[in-house]
Amino acid sequence: MLDVLKVKIYPNKGQREALTKSFGCSRFVFNYYLNKTNTQYQETGKGMSYCDMALDLTQLKKLSDYEWLTEVTAATLQQTLKNLESAFKNFFFKRARFPKYKSKHRHQSIRYPESCSIKNGGLKLPKLGIVKASISKSINGKIKSVTVSINSTDKYFAAILFETDDLAAKKQGKISGIDLGLNSLVTVFDGKIYQKVDPIKPTRKYAKRLRRRQKALSRKVKGSNNRRLSVKKVAKVHEKITNTRQDFLHKLSRQLVDENQVIVVENLCIKGLARTKLAKSIHDAGFGMLLNFIGYKLERESGTFIQVDRFFPSTKLCNCCKFKNNSLNLSIREWVCPSCQTQHDRDENAARNIREEGLKILSNTVGHTELQACGETVRLNGACIKERVSLRQESPVTAQA
């Protein structure tokens, strides 16, 4: 079993210079062979494989104009070529866009695929020696690779990929349904009680500070030292917003995972929601990040993570008589069922419906159930469906639910 630990590292002056050279060489190799592959494909109709690029790189290092490539670890440059090959494969299999040229003004990273270890409380890397690091937990397994990166505020991080034999026992706990929304970030129903957690809205919280920094940046002359300093000040505010959001979502996901054995959520189309008038609030809430955190933490502890189909009308469906109320809109937070006269809280009703649907999926009784969602027949074959009849979706109603 593989696990990842991301730590902050503190390289000294010489190590920072060596890392800068490694970043630059890796970026050059990626761009050089991306261009060469494109040129060869246009001329011959066939690109370059990893073996072709690796052989060519060996000959390239022998040229007098490119001797500086030998100053960095050869394994990192070979890993860069593997990354380029993977980028092309992802493009051809329609999993990603066509590879782009790397820029030094964006996120930079290199990967050490071998010869890395923990020594004297620090991280030992090839040609760098022991780099001071803040390692939060012990790593007993074999280290497979280390990815070193630098962010926009000149802080260095290392993502350590290592083997571990720590297999958690079967997790015990409750079965909860979670409804995601903007008024209440999560509404949790465990079969007995409801629990609501409000969003912290970090983008709006630091909007005034960000506006001041951006105004100051706009007054600086392009290419000046003052402008470069102002760029870093703006980046620090963005970093503060990101760290605040991640810290809150990590703590929230940890609490949910600790309290529950099975968590049922709705498989929202977040990209679609991000194109609506609620885009800023959707991005600020971090729905995708929260679901990702819950998913991998539950997997580590042998829990079960179920995603109900996004076309399931969790908000509009009465949990008492199963009447579907098509007249609901975003402004209605409480409604009365026209069929059974039951009064519903919008979020609590959705969380209850999501939990019930998750129990059906868990017991494999929803395999051939048909429901009317968005006015069309949708067949639910499981938690995640790739092919559907409907082209419309209940969102953004479910996003606010």
The residues annotated with a catalytic role in the active site are 179, 266, 347
Task: Output the six-digit token pair for 310.
Answer: 């996004």
28 within 8 A of 72, measured Cβ to Cβ: no
Nearest alpha carbon to residue 290 among 333, 330, 257, 241: 257
Q: CB burial class (10 A; 0-12, 13-18, 19+) of residue 26?
A: buried
Tokens 């506006």, located at residue: 211
Query: CA 249, 254, 259, 262 torsion: positive or negative?
Result: positive
Q: Which residue has the tokens 């000294």?
A: 12
Is residue 296 within 8 Å of 257, Cβ to Cβ? Answer: no
Return d(Cα 86, Cα 82) in angstroms, integer: 6
Structure-block tokens of residue 352: 């209850």
Query: Angle at CA 66, nearest 5°, toward 103 and 90?
Result: 45
